[in-house]
Structure 1
Amino acid sequence: MSRRLYKVLTLLITISVCAFFILSSISSASEQDVNGEVVVLFKRNTSFTDTLKSVKKAGVRSSRHLKLNSIRLKLIKVKPAQKDKVVERLKDDPKIIAVEPNSIVRAAWVPNDKFYALGSLNARQWNLTRINIAGAWDITRGAGTIVAVLDTGLAKNLKDLNYSKVMKGYDFVKRDRDPADDDGHGSHVTSIIAASTNNSIGIAGVSPDVKILPVKVLDNKGEGTEIELMEGLIYAYEKGANVINLSLDLETSSRALKVILDDIYRDGVVVVGASGNLSKGRVSYPARYRSVIGVGATTYSNTRANYSNYGKMLDVSAPGGDTTQNLNGDSSVDGILGASIGGGSGYFFFDGTSSATPHVSGVAALLYSQGVRGASQIKRAITSSATDLGSPGFDSFYGNGLLNANSALRRPKSSLSVRVSKTRVKYRQRVKVSGKLAPPRKATIYIQAYDAKRERWRTVAKTASKTNGDYAKIVKPAFNTYFRANWNGAGSTLGQQSNEKLVKVKTYMRLRRSRRRIRRGQKVILSGKVKPRYRRKLVAIQMKVGRRWKTITRTRLSRTSMFNKSVKLNRRKRYIFRIYMRSRYHLPSASNLVAVRVL
């Protein structure tokens, strides 16, 4: 009996322990993901109709649809009991790249007590002295740059913010046009970037003349979802943001989020992200992606803050503060001072990588205002000019070192112009793309074109500049194309990306007729070809009536972009025909003319 009782007790204990770990894992998963929500990433250029078919085939409906360039995403709501089956069906669809949980996104800050400053507030902004900002302000203060802050929103009554420079934003939590801050985190971050400067009150912002685009993706607890973050990124991109600040993080990687960030980066938008506050030896997402500038936090003593995540994907460090210290003896804690909500003076000390990140976003905005173009060039300017901390050179605790605004803005810069010989051409007609690199030097210049079908930039040619800086290259565009030039830089001189020039292209359309003369009531066959290849595209067959062209019928191109259409002619006269086509990728185009005489 005792052995049986022992076995029964052992079995019960084992079941209890297993149940505990299972429930713990379920609880842990639910803390990181939104229960019953799945993000679906489709292949590029999948049509909206096809995305609906894929979702319907899996037996569910989508609640949101996201689009950035050629990227398509859907948010699916699934009952927990059906989730595994639905996910498997979706993964079997050849049009779908990834199926992922809708992860929780959190503000990357340490929620210690808030302190407001007394007396001389500017003396407590040790963080601006540490990044050497004063010299940078002699060059620019950020005018002409839009910085999007994806966070808990922006308060409407901050004392030290010029609201004439705040753009109308959006709230993706409540889904309205009022991104009001009900937490305080977003307001504090925004004030670090853009607080009014030289106004005799309050604090100074890193880039006080920028425009701010507030985008609320986190709620009053500092939490949001991955889908809301992606919606916010697309919104900021479409509103023309030059710099995007992400003082937030999530624990798990997301292929869908990475694809969006990579596209934004290729289009020249700088994204800055917080490394996280768990003191882990790996940088959190999305700061961990190469398309994001990952920022760690330092303290008043220029040492890594003990909460700051670190690792090989850390790019740079910036002041994040420590509200448990007072090393400068100014009667206030060594946090980062900013404007926020919560009563008192309206100024509070926070610490965390959330506070470090806006310093880098502010300097990125200054570089953009100075004329540096291309996200990779701005990232290089920030990382290569940083003040070395820790082990010589790059190390996992500080990245490339401590942000140095003055050094970044005083690095040797270059300028790169571009022009095109023609702005309207025929299909595959030669166009000369040329320009000048300054200071003049021999260098490799990359000619890049915007692929309208794939909706992304790609390098189509490369050429060498002469000793006087001039360069030129012949290209033959097949579609309406934006061209730009890019130089990667050399030595201490930063590279540069030119502005864009549009070349509009007419399609090549060839029309033939089967006979020159026919009798009344007979048919003539009109045939031909269109270049570049348009599959299943409708084209109009037009007949000249007086001075105007009248569409008499339409025909659909074959898979090889050819057409063949018979037309019955009943009147004795001379007919003149052409084919005509409109497309988003080309100028409205017409073919050669053919004549048919009816006897």
Structure 2
Amino acid sequence: MIFSSLPILPLFASPAGLPSIPRSSAPIEGEFVPGELLVKFKSTATSSKIDNAHRGIGAQKLEELRNSKTHRVKLPKGIDEHNAIANYEKLPDVEYAEPNYYRHALLTPNDTNYGVQWALPKIKAPQAWDTTTGNETVVAVVDSGVDYNHPDLSTKVIKGYDYINNDNDPMDDHGHGTHVAGITGAITNNAQGVAGVSWGAKLLAVKVLNSSGSGTDATVANGIRYAADNNAKIINLSLGGYDYSSTMADAVVYAQGKGCLVVAAAGNGNTSNVLYPAGYQNVIGVSATRTDDGKASYSNYGWYVDVAAPGGNADGTASNGIASTYPGNQYVYMNGTSMAAPHVAGLAALIATVYPGKTGAQLGRTIQATVDDLGAAGRDDTFGYGRINAEKAVKTLIVHDEENSAAATYSGTWTNGSSSNASGGAFKHSSSTGVSVTYSFNGTSVSWVAQKSPASGIAKVYIDGVYQQDVDLYGTSDHQQLVYTKSGLALGNHTIKIEVAGTKNASSSGYDVNVDAFDFVTVKDTTAPITTLSTNPTSPDGANGWFNTAPSITLTRDEPGTTYYQWGSTTGAWTTYSGSFASMEGEHTLYFYSVDTSGNTEAVKSQAIKVDTVAPTATITSPTGGTVTGIVTISGTATDANFVNYILDFGQGVSPASWTEITNSSTQKTNETLGQLDTRTLAEGDFVIRLRAFDAAAKVETATVLVTAASDTQAPVTTLSTSPTSPDGENGWFKSTTTASLTANEPATTYYQWDSTATANWTTYSGSFTAPEGEHTLYFYSVDTSNNTETARSAVLKVDTQKPAAPTNVKAMAPNDSKVFIKWEAATDNVAVIGYDVYNADNGEKIVSVEKTNYMHTGLAPNTTYRYYVAAFDAAGNRSPVSETVEATTFRASRSINPGTSVDVELGNGVKVSFSNVLVAGITSATIIIDPPYGAPDANFRFRGYHIDISTTANYSGTIMVTIPYDPSLIKGNEKNLKLMHWNGQKWEDVTVEVDTENNIIIGMTTSLSPFAVGENEVGTTAVTTIAFGHNTNMLAMLAAMLTALGLLLIVRRRSII
């Protein structure tokens, strides 16, 4: 058995270099998530504005899409998406809002070389993939083997058997089988390589051809049987020879007996000689077509050709061949009927997915019944029944009915027969001239399946009672065959009648006519209905496509079903059409579609309908007539629901012969200024002022008024406007750069100058100008064309666009336990600083605004740190940057006592000072001041306690004894180093100290109530003590524990001198 092929044309070594297939950017319309929107906010929108926007709609934010300001939101129940979109898009911070459309994948593969596979669109494979991409139907590739390691085949290949080397490794060492396998079922939609006809098919690799592409009847027959025994539903044989082989014929019959469909290439010799196995009974013989659907130059032809499929042009242009897989991870173009056959095998696998109950024979007849007819009408020897159409094949319902069906009515005598070749194993036959069978069906085509044999005669065929042709049933051997097909019938009820003619082929030994089965096609209704819109009047009766008369609208379907419509949107509620309805006034779009009884839904259509039955409104309210002078302001109304424009003009005389335009505006006006007429340039006398309003339907309404023009003696009036239109600062100041505009109420020349009315300094106004910084007076006036001069006007403009500088050298200090004094140096400004704001630096709140450069903050808590910063402001309200932050800590709380009383004052950390028997003449009270702001002792001393200051309201004289109990275990022999230190107003002085080691008391005497403290002379200290009377900068970490252990008591007494 010799494999015949055309030259192999290399495509490329790797698919990486081919361009990628561009993706469509068109959106999928109509279907969206109910109750959800996508809202895009502008980049300047703050979080608070975004939250307010959602809150205003009542929407709930579901998520923010990555790296964007797009929110997916859920609308509250009852809120229409269309209205919500409109409300969102009114907000200044919203860029857009839209439905959250569903988006659906399309069944066109993303394989990198799909773009060069012209054969797949030719057989309408992409449309078929919208119905099915195939399941794991097993297709046997009986060929030179398959490269099962190829990345576009590896997961699809079932390793079968190698009948060349008699092992179970069917690796392809030629390339032909790998190419055939890729056409049938390459891994598809995997972003590489090529696409196969059936995405899901499994490929059973059976090697029957050697490395030269040749095999024997034995190897091929073994391969066919092996495939049939190993679950193959379809067997592809892209091989052949011109010698008939019973061995191979038996193998084919064996496979068919197991329900397999056998597909074979018709051959590449451009001859009518029969090539086998394509010529065997019930094998689908496949011829090859070109890119233009013509016969490929090399393709065989003849009675055994059943269908055609793309095989390549073989014209020297590689891309006109068939691209597919090739060993070594390659892809190549090839040409030949070997390439045509696997397109048919892959299609059979798709059909088997949609109709899993079909036998192999029924799969074949489905393919034959759903082709696109090429060449001569009906079956011909070049294309068979036609070139395969995958879309029709998977969307067409083929009904297979046996000869004993109730739909078959027999007249005359017919005899039951049986045969292993027959459909269902049985058939009916008769040799009686004139007897017939009539089969009734509902569909678009019908096929008659019969047994051809050496004893068969000729039958006459009628469709719907009309004679069609004679069919010769003679055959050299008994075999089942589709002997007649009638297609292209209108969908509906039909009959086929088969009548025994009583004649025969000269080679036949009998007149027998038999009926084995009938196949008829009922095309699935996959076509959406078509709805047309008509109006009454049938076309617009106004101008510019507008109806002056409101039309009635009629929607008409081309088949039974239901029609829906709505105005202005596709997102609202659809209304079921029940009859003609009236159109609305104005310009509106009607959306409509239909659904047929098979559930096919038409794409939504739209039609703009413009209706204007009402004329515009045009009225002039001022002037009402009489004498006019100077520039006349004309007021009135020009409106319409479908407004286009108004024209205001005038003409001389009571019945003007011509008109001069004043204004042509597309803006509607209601009791507003329409335009101005300058009568100063007109001769004295009568004039007609005319207003005409136009709408979209070219309707026009006219209003006129008669006036008499007189001489102009009035001076013009000039008005000043600014941008910003009013002060945006404080106290009448502009904080932004301000431009001034001067407008005269009539044609005139305008003059202006700043801060003066000197004659020589006037500037002719030519357009807006910038006001200078500071407070200035603008003088201005106008002179009209009649030389009427306006009295000069004036206006004060105050502009300050600059912020003051921040205050500097800010300081804070605490004079006592309840106040902090803050001061700073004056800030600078281009105009003038008028005050300062003092802020609490901890919370940013303003404390006070002052005009001076200091502030006393009162009412504060004792022993508390306060932090401040200051900002300056000018008259316009410009605020400077804030100053540096300063801080101050208030004193500890003071206590007042009365004479003759005792009081314990907690100084912190367990230290107390006690006063008792304080008797000073004239003293009404005494105050303990803790931590007064005095300096430190010299470098030889460190303080062992708080600074204490006792002040009185009167002078006194006497001695104060200070007693300090101590713990000898803590002092560690350093009593001699302790000193009572007194502040004399300039420095600290030692006070006499007596140490009572028996009672463990240190006694000091002082004659002054001024500040004192306890210090320790560190010179000569023999051991570090743990004694502490308060602040200890060297031992702060142990302060609290040591004070508790020491239990100090500082007692101050005053003794009167006797």
With normalisation by structure 1, the TM-score equals 0.52
Cα gap change, 1:448 to 1:144, in 2 (>3 Å): farther
Instruction: Return closer, same or farther for 1:296/1:450 CA change in 2, 3 Å cut-off.
Output: closer
Residue 348 of structure 1 is matched in structure 2 by: 332
Change (3 A) 1:466 1:341: closer
Mapped contact 1:282–1:312 kept (Cα < 8 A): no
Does residue 365 in structure 1 map to residue 349 in structure 2?
Answer: yes
User: How far apart are 1:460 and its partner, in Å?
Assistant: 9.1
Report 1 or 2 for greater relative contact order, CA contacts < 8 Å, sequence distance ≥ 6.
Answer: 1
- The residue type equivalent to 1:115 in the other structure is L
The separation in 2 between residues aligned to 1:399 and 1:450, in whole angstroms, is 27
Report whether the alignment pairs 1:402 with 2:387: yes
Residues 144 and 173 of structure 2 are in contact (CA less than 8 Å); yes or no, is this contact kept in structure 1? Answer: yes
In the superposition, relative to structure 1, how do residues 203 and 303 fare at CA in structure 2: closer, same or farther (>3 Å)? same
Distance 1:123 1:218 in 2: 31
Q: Which amino acid aligns with 2:294?
A: T
Q: Which residue of 1 aligns with 2:853?
A: none
* Distance in 2 between residues matched to 1:342 and 1:162, nearest whole Å: 12
Partner deviation per Cα, 1:505-534 (whole Å, 9 max, x = no partner): xxxxxxxxxxxxxxxxxxxxxxxxxxxxxx
Shift of 1:168: 2.8
Displacement of 1:358: 0.1
> SS of the residue aligned with 2:146?
coil
Shift in Å, 1:115: 2.2
Report the Cα offset of residue 461 of structure 1.
10
Question: Which residue of the partner structure matches residue 189 of structure 1?
Answer: 180
Question: Contact conserved, 1:317 with 1:401, CA < 8 A, in 2?
Answer: yes
Cα 1:173–1:301 change in 2 (3 A) is same
C-alpha displacement of 1:404:
0.6
Q: Find 2:312's aligned residue among 315, 321, 334.
A: 321
- Corresponding position: 1:491 with 2:520: yes
Alpha-carbon separation, structure 1, partners of 2:310 and 2:143 = 19
Q: Percent identity?
A: 37
Distance 1:375 1:205, change over 3 A: same
> Superposition pairs for residues 151-550 of structure 1, below 5 Å?
151-163=143-155, 165-326=156-317, 333-342=319-328, 346-371=330-355, 372-414=357-399, 442=407, 458-459=425-426, 488-493=517-522
User: How far apart are residue 493 of structure 1 and its match?
Assistant: 4.0
Post-superposition Cα deviations, 1:409-454, rounded to whole Å, max 9, x if no partner, equal 111244999xxxxxxxxxxxxxxxx9xx9xxx8469xx99999xx9
CA contact (8 A) 2:399 2:520 kept: no
- Cα distance change of structure 1 residues 264 and 313 upon mapping to structure 2, 3 Å threshold: same
SS of the aligned residue for 2:220 comes to helix
TM-superposed CA distance for 1:487, in Å, is 9.3
Secondary structure of 1:149's aligned partner: strand
**Which structure has the larger Rg?**
2
Distance 1:412 1:489, change over 3 A: farther
Q: Is the 8 Å Cα contact of residues 311 and 337 (structure 2) preserved in structure 1?
A: yes
Shift of 1:283: 3.4
Do the aligned partners of residues 283 and 461 (structure 1) sit closer, same or farther apart at CA in structure 2, a change above 3 Å counting? closer
Query: Is the Cα contact below 8 Å between 2:239 and 2:264 reproduced in 1?
Result: yes
Number of residue pairs the alignment of both structures matches: 341
State the alpha-carbon separation in 2 of the partners of residues 340 and 390 from structure 1.
Answer: 33
Q: Is the 8 A contact 1:288 1:313 kept in 2?
A: yes
Distance 1:228 1:273 in 2: 16
Partner of residue 3, structure 2? 107
Q: Is the 8 A contact 2:225 2:254 kept in 1?
A: no
Shift in alpha-carbon separation, 1:302–1:227, aligned structure 2, 3 A: same
For 1:161, give the aligned amino acid. Answer: L
- State the distance in 1 between where 2:220 and 2:271 align: 23
Give per-residue Cα distances to partners, 1:525-573, cap 9 Å, x unaligned.
Answer: xxxxxxxxxxxxxxxxxxxxxxxxxxxxxxxxxxxxxxxxxxxxxxxxx
> Do the aligned partners of 1:159 and 1:339 also contact (CA within 8 Å) in 2?
no
The 8 Å contact of residues 194 and 210 in structure 1, kept in 2 or not, is answered as yes
Q: Give, in whole Å, the separation in 1 of the partners of 2:249 and 2:522.
A: 30
Contact 2:263/2:341 (<8 A) preserved: yes
The range that moved more, 129-138 or 169-178, is 129-138
The SS at the match of 1:312 is coil
Q: Which amino acid aligns with 2:125?
A: I
Q: Is the CA contact 2:3–2:240 (under 8 Å) kept in the aligned structure 1?
A: yes
CA contact (8 A) 1:108 1:274 kept: no
Once residues 176 and 321 of structure 2 are traced to their aligned partners in structure 1, the CA distance between those partners, rounded to angstroms, is 14
Partner secondary structure for residue 373 of structure 1: coil
CA distance in structure 2 between the partners assigned to 1:143 and 1:391 by the alignment: 35
Do residues 143 (structure 1) and 39 (structure 2) align?
A: no
CA contact (8 A) 1:190 1:358 kept: yes
Give 1:184 deviation, angstroms: 0.8
Correspondence list, 1:71-110, <5 A:
105-110=1-6
Which consecutive unaligned segments of at least 5 residues does structure 1 have?
Answer: 1-104, 327-331, 418-433, 468-485, 495-599
**Cα distance change of structure 1 residues 219 and 457 upon mapping to structure 2, 3 Å threshold:** farther
Aligned counterparts of 1:325 and 1:387: Cα–Cα separation in 2:
27
- Offset at 1:142? 2.3
Partner of 2:364, secondary structure, is helix
What is the DSSP-based 3-state SS (H/G/I as helix, E as strand, rest coil) of the residue aligned with 2:320?
coil
Say which of 123, 142, 165 aligns to 1:131: 123
- CA RMSD between the two structures: 3.5
Pair 166,342 (structure 1): closer, same or farther in 2 beyond 3 Å = closer
1:375 deviates by: 2.4
Contact 1:386 1:401 in 2 (8 A): yes
In structure 2, how many angstroms separate the alpha carbons of the residues matched to 1:155 and 1:303?
32
Q: How far apart in 1 are the matches of 2:132 and 2:398?
A: 14
CA distance in 1, matches of 2:7, 2:316: 15
Secondary structure at 2:293 match in 1: coil
Counterpart contact for 1:145–1:210, Cα < 8 Å: yes
What amino acid does structure 2 have at the position aligned with 1:364? Answer: A
Q: Which runs of 5+ in 2 are unaligned?
A: 21-112, 410-415, 430-437, 442-514, 524-1058
The structure in which a higher percent of residues are strand is: 2
